Amino acid sequence: MPPVQAAAVPGGAVPAPGEPRVYGLANGETRILIRASSDSWIQVRDRDHKPIFTRELHAGDTYHVPDEPGLTMKTGKAAGLVITVDGRQTPAIGGAVRPNVYLDPERLLAGTAVAD
């Protein structure tokens, strides 16, 4: 799967510099949404640990996570992320660096997605 690029905003326009951006499958099958409440670097990896999305999200940016099993995330500022599953906010993953967060809907909702 190639790295995901910014999605166009409604009407086909590209957001102005400094405007929040939407990445990932904005109109596709996705249950998990990651929103940056402050600047935070993330890397989403597939089940084979290959990066499929690496970017610093700025406050207001969102990433629609592909609905695929086995995805994990590494983040450099976990406290700056708000994650929702099916529109429901999950317990915060908190802290600073999180090297292994399972992007599994049930684990996220249960608050058990962070692996030590």
pLDDT digit string, tens, across residues 21-74: 999 976 677 999 999 999 999 999 999 999 999 999 999 999 999 999 999 999
Sequence-ordered list of residues with C-beta below 8 angstroms from that of 84, at least 6 positions apart, any chain: 32, 33, 35, 90
In a domain, 5, yes or no: no
Count up the domains in the chain and report the number.
1
Which pLDDT does position 74 carry in this prediction? 96
Residue 3 within a domain: no
Q: Which of 74, 75, 72 is nearest to 47 (CA)?
A: 72
More confident residue, 26 or 107: 107
CA distance to 14, 24, 113, per residue, from 81 (Å) = 23, 16, 14
For 83, the domain range is: 10-110
| pTM of the full structure | 0.83
What is the rounded end-to-end Cα distance, in angstroms, of the chain? Answer: 27
pLDDT in tens, 49-62: 999 999 999 999 99
Helices of type H across 3-116: 105-110
Residue 19 included in any domain: yes
CA–CA distance, 98 with 45 (Å, rounded to integer): 13
Note whether residue 2 is domain-resident. Answer: no
**SS3 label, residue 24:** strand
* Alpha carbon distance 64, 33 (integer Å): 5
